[in-house]
Amino acid sequence: MDAIVTAGGVPKEGDPLYEYTQGAPKAMLDLAGKPMVQWVLDALSESQAIERVVVVGLDEELGLYCSKPLFFIPNQGSMLENIYAGANKILSLNPNAGVLLSVSSDIPAITGEIVDWMVSEIEKGEYDVYYNVITRQDMENRFPGSKRSFTRFKDVEVCGGDMTAFRASMLNTEGSVWQELIGARKNVFRQAAIIGFGTLFLLAFRQLTLDDAVERVAKRLQIRARAIRCPYPELGMDVDKPFQMDLLHAELAQREAL
């Protein structure tokens, strides 16, 4: 399987991380002696399942490395455009690509084992989109200071993970709903409103199970989708604020010392 690493974000003035980036890409934040994105590339290097990697938003002059064939393309302006560009680059290298893995550059605690677990879950079914969710209990047990936002469904309370997958054939799918959903990716109520106000009402009053929600989204977008209940909180431990950066700096420094 081939992987796209999305690394196009550059914090602007007023962003909690601007003080640390000063106009540089967020992916290049130093964590325990390495750029944050390098930890992600290390995990992809360790993976037995990943064949090649495309980084979107950075260039090869930054000195990043990976044991797999590594390619760079510039930032395209939005997350959706970056994912499309990365997928098209992979298809130019591997026209027979099936499912593509999309990995955020700001989840540096992931490992090759976690990547391989994700690929093994993908291989269990025939879906168009695969999305990770982590329960509140698992997240807070593993990273008690993470202060993640959670969505409460009828049967479970979860946050989203930042490693997803999609079938390459979906590149031909057009429509503003995709753009809106990407823009609302961190606000489940906005996502529900885009899908339909009935869904928003049911979610607000906690009448949807997780599987119900996935089914409604899939029907609205005319896709086959699966929400994977992930046992690895590392997939949900992203860096959006300084205290999360400090938490992961300590985590990764301890890992390096072992």
When pLDDT is averaged across residues 84-112 and rounded to a whole number, the result is 94
Could you tell me if residue 46 is inside a domain? yes
Could you tell me if residue 47 is inside a domain? yes
Could you tell me if residue 87 is inside a domain? yes
Could you tell me if residue 106 is inside a domain? yes
pLDDT at 52 over 80: yes
Chain segment 232-244, per-residue pLDDT in tens: 999 999 999 999 9
Burial class (CB in 10 A: 0-12, 13-18, 19+), 175: exposed
Residue 6 contacts residue 79 (beta carbons within 8 Å): yes
Query: So what's the pLDDT on residue 84?
Result: 85
Q: Which domain holds residue 67?
A: 2-131+160-168+241-257
- Count the domains in the chain: 1
pLDDT category of residue 212 using cuts at 50, 70 and 90: confident
What is the CATH number for 246?
3.90.550.10
Could you tell me if residue 60 is inside a domain? yes
Chain segment 178-195, per-residue pLDDT in tens: 555 556 655 655 655 555
Could you tell me if residue 142 is inside a domain? no
Could you tell me if residue 120 is inside a domain? yes
Sign, CA torsion 185/186/190/191: positive
Could you tell me if residue 57 is inside a domain? yes
